[in-house]
Amino acid sequence: MTNKLSFVTANELYRDSYASSQSQERALNAAIVQAEIGEGYEQFLEIFDAFYADDVEVSSESQEEPIRGKAAARSSSRASCFRFT
């Protein structure tokens, strides 16, 4: 019986996660650019649902505390002035 060990360096893990985050960022940006704002905000909510985690924190300059959670963010009436953190 042979025990084969496989090691992955921290640099390899970082490079893979960095490449993955870059491709996700490009996909998010492309979806935002291709959305038709003139047809309503529903496309932006679909993008929000697809690309952001359930535990997202959303804030704006007009409120002191961030909104926590995707459900709370979707129900907020300030959807047009969000800054994602």
Q: 12 exposed, middle or buried (CB, 10 Å; 0-12, 13-18, 19+)?
A: exposed
Does the pLDDT value for residue 77 go beyond 70? Answer: no
17: Cα within 13 Å, side-chain hemisphere: 7
Question: For the whole model, what pTM was predicted?
Answer: 0.61
Domain span holding position 62 = 10-84
Give the confidence band of 81 by pLDDT, cuts at 50, 70, 90.
very low
Structure-token pair, residue 79 = 């959807």
In a domain, 2, yes or no: no
The pLDDT score that the predictor gives to residue 7 is: 52
If one counts the domains in the chain, the total is 1
Q: 73: buried, middle or exposed (CB in 10 Å: 19+, 13-18, 0-12)?
A: buried
The angle, 0 to 180 degrees and rounded to 10, between the axes of the packed helices 42-51 and 10-34 is 170
Residue 62 counted as domain residue: yes
Q: Could you report the per-residue pLDDT of 40-49, keeping only the tens digit for each? A: 778 888 888 8
In a domain, 58, yes or no: yes
Is 43 a member of any domain?
Answer: yes
Token reading at 40: 């309503």
